A = this chain, B = another copy of it.
């Protein structure tokens, strides 16, 4: 645990700051995003310190990793054509969704919810119509990063090597929820901070075992950052979170995914 992180029950006021970092340029395949982040922080005179968390929108990482796919390059198979009819979606998009998925969770008109190969369940395997499109005839879509936990870890290491600061890194996507309306930010890549806080065994002051024994800290931080990412017309895909007191165990986003055995809503 770094010395600049206070113990959880410290008496000093607990204050956290969220700062949307402007000025990140349009990211292209092959860009060094850690360098772009540090360049964006510099005019704001922000020096990263250990314990800071950098939350970045998934789209930025996907673009830098060249995950754009022109739909014209995709040949849909029979299963994709069938699901395209059921959902009303483009069969080439459905083909990409299937390639990125392990299992189909729900199908309805306009709805294709899948278990992503990475382990989470989401609409359309997180595939986004990208804003790198070149016109209607060659529409391009953007897949999620190949391995977002690894992407987050690479970012974390590069930032530590460049600045000396031990920061946490979150790669944030927006997901819908089965029982609640509206999307919320969630973490699909985590490095250098606790993702799932395991409080099993802790008791409250009356001796009761805590009701909520696991807290999805990385998703709560992602939701906080997401609040600040989407609001301007262009959005601000980079948010600095400063002052969090987190448990010292670092984790990965994969800690947050229910295994198939724990999925109570599996068809």
Contacts and interface: CB of A to CB of B under 8 A. Distances in A.
Interface string A166-192: 000000001011111111111000000
Given A223-B220, A245-B231, A131 B205 contact: yes
A108 interface: yes
Interface stretch (A31-39, A74-82, A258-266): A258-266
Interface string A198-211: 00000011101001
A106 B266 CA distance: 11
Residue of A223, A257, A258, A263 contacting most chain B CB atoms (<10 Å): A223
Interface of A: 8-9, 13-20, 22, 44, 105-106, 108, 111, 113, 120-121, 128-129, 131, 133, 174, 176-186, 196-197, 204-206, 208, 211-212, 214-217, 219-221, 223-224, 226-228, 230-234, 236, 244-245, 255-258, 262-265
A128 B178 CA distance: 23
A263 B179 contact: yes
Contacts of A44: 13
A178 B263 contact: yes
Contact of A182 (B13, B128, B216): B216
B208 A129 contact: yes
A262 B174 CA distance: 19
A111 B258 CA distance: 15
17 contacts: A8-B232, A13-B44, A14-B236, A15-B18, A176-B212, A177-B177, A177-B216, A178-B178, A180-B186, A182-B197, A182-B216, A184-B215, A184-B216, A184-B219, A220-B223, A224-B227, A265-B265
A236 B13 CA distance: 11
Given A19-B14, A174-B212, A181 B262 contact: yes
Contacts of A183: 212, 214-216
A108 B230 CA distance: 38
Contacts of A14: 19-20, 22, 228, 231-232, 236
